[in-house]
Amino acid sequence: MSCIFCEIVKGTSPSRKVYEDDLILGIMDIDPYCDGHILLIPKKHYTDMMELDESLLTHMNKVAKELTPKIMNKLGKVSMTVSYNYGEKQKVKHFHLHLLPNIDDNPTKSVEEIYNLLN
């Protein structure tokens, strides 16, 4: 079964990267809930949170904590929701963490415009 996030990690599917290290990749969501919706995905495939190594989850939370004020400042946002889904709510079956600035606001800019503001 193919996994879009694994393809993005391998570089065979396009993405707008906003963060990368040896363990995870941060990309713009292509169908954002709000302006600045970013996904943090492990480079190794884990179907869901039950498979995820605790040290990796700790690392992802640390990166989310570091990125939050940077994203909020660059986009002029006042709040951040950090979440992940499990079960039926998890659309892509590759664990990922959502960064959602001002989650209740509808998107007002294109993903490309937000990407340019963040870089």
Q: DSSP of 42-95, one letter per residue?
A: ESS--SSTTTS-HHHHHHHHHHHHHHHHHHHHHHT-S-EEEE---GGG-SSSS-
Q: pLDDT in tens for each of the 119 residues of the chain?
A: 689 999 999 999 999 999 999 999 999 999 999 999 999 999 999 999 999 999 999 999 999 999 999 999 999 999 999 999 998 888 999 999 999 999 889 999 999 999 999 98
pLDDT of residue 1: 64
Q: What is this structure's pTM?
A: 0.94
User: What is the reported pLDDT for 44?
Assistant: 96
Give residue 102's identity as a one-letter amino acid code: N
Set 37, 45, 59, 96: catalytic member: 96
Q: How many domains does the chain have?
A: 1
Give the CATH number for residue 17: 3.30.428.10
Q: Clarify whether 96 is annotated catalytic.
A: yes
Calculate the alpha carbon distances from 35 to 17, 19, 65, 68, 75 in Å: 15, 17, 18, 13, 8
- The answer to whether 92 and 4 are in contact (CB under 8 A) is yes
Task: Check residue 112 and give its pLDDT.
Answer: 94
| Domain interval for residue 98 | 4-118
